[in-house]
Chains A and B, each alone.
Chain A
Amino acid sequence: MKRVAAGDQNAFATLYDAIAPRAYGLIRRITRDPALAEEVTQDALVEVWRTAPRFDTERGSAVGWILSIAHHRAVDRVRAEQAAADRERRASTASVPFDEVIAEVTARLEHEAVRRCLRALTSIQREAILLAYYGGLSYRDVAERLGAALPTIKTRMRDGLIRLRDCLGVTLG
């Protein structure tokens, strides 16, 4: 990552090989469209290259930072597409409902610890996190969908993530 930040193209190619499947896979789940996912992944990874000098090793892992950029890009794109679809009163281009995506992801969680930690959350924590993360829903949309108050959802997202973090033992350096 240091070499990428210093402008080393070869290092970026190595980083691409290490991270692209995870970035693309995540983005495809959120956009639910392979062609769109390819485009968004391209934008996200070029952004990783562009902003690499800003990456601060004391602020989390490179993987976390890269996937956060990938996630943000995908969510922005999905919301923009959704807004366009709403304007034209047509169905969103995404064909697979995100409930199916969430079901698929949770079924595929091979990592025993991740699966166990996710199960340890309350159902509202788990649903709030997964709907936002894979559905690209805002906390307002999540609140509406789950029929819960806004502050509740906001709080559940945070305490749910903190519980996951503690359960998985994620700490900064």
Chain B
Amino acid sequence: MTDIHTFAGAYALHAIDHLEQARFERHLAECPSCAAEVAELADTMAAFSDATAEEPPVGLRAAVLARSAATPQTRRSVSRQRFRLPAVRWQRLVTAAATVVALGGAGVAGYEIANDSVVVDNTGVSAANKQIAAVLAAPDARMHSATAAGGGQVTVVSSRSLNEAVAVLGKLPSPGADHAYQLWVISDGTARSAGVLATGSTGATELVSGIRGAQLIGVTRERAGGSRTPSQPLVAHVPLT
């Protein structure tokens, strides 16, 4: 396995492609010492800039100042923003999750476990609700969202410390009368089933356990009751970190 950390030099030199860049930036968000190293390496190359300094064309100053005067600034530090959930969407998500849970547990109770096809009964609902609330309230909760192929949204709130995530699926296209959506926890290319929605269901709120070390939550359309392996292509995939 490649050690992602060795990308620090190539990253500071902008010598990697956009995919690698995105991957490395996800790593940077979680590795303060790597971020510090990248900043130091950028500062190191800045020491060379005296050698190439040159008077810019005369018109440039006025052009830059005029354009900047007309350009609004970004508000916050992005690196910090990553650790903070956007208030509005967060509120909406909690409301959405609460609504689904309140609707007779349609999302939480109405799914079948892939392997033994047992429908979770109502006694399990309140415990699951408590777990969902705990994930949503976890200090390290992170939210990611993706639009599903064919429409609809999959939002995942995950907590590494609780080793659990809540997936909210909404307004997906109908899977068909004898098909169902299935959730997967994907770690290093290996998928493990995390539950199957009720047959024909287009939305649900699911508690997903055992997410530590995994990179993605995937959603697939499967025959009613679910499959052992995910059918390609994924309907949606949402990053966990």
Contacts and interface: CB of A to CB of B under 8 A. Distances in A.
Nearest to A66: B46
B46 A61 contact: yes
B54 A25 contact: yes
Interface string A66-108: 0110011001100000000000000000000000000001101
- Chain A interface residue bracket vs B: 35 or more
Interface residues of B, number: 52
Interface in B26-81: 35-37, 39-57, 59-61, 63-65, 67-69, 71-79
Given A50-B74, A157-B10, A157-B13, A63 B46 contact: yes
Given A9-B65, A56-B79, A71-B45, A132 B55 contact: no
A161 interface: yes
Contacts of B13: 129, 132-133, 139, 157, 161
A155 B52 CA distance: 26
A105 B39 contact: no
B17 interface: yes
Contact of B71 (A49, A109, A129, A155): A49
Interface in A99-142: 105-106, 108-111, 114, 129, 132-133, 136-139, 142
A107 to B, nearest CB: 9
B41 A41 contact: no
B120 interface: no
Contacts of B2: 151
Contact of A109 (B48, B64, B75): B48
B45 A50 contact: no
Given A114-B48, A158-B7, 14 more contacts: A21-B54, A21-B55, A21-B56, A22-B49, A24-B57, A59-B39, A68-B42, A108-B52, A110-B50, A139-B10, A139-B15, A154-B7, A165-B41, A172-B39
12 contacts: A9-B65, A41-B56, A42-B67, A53-B73, A56-B79, A105-B48, A105-B51, A114-B47, A156-B9, A157-B13, A159-B9, A172-B36
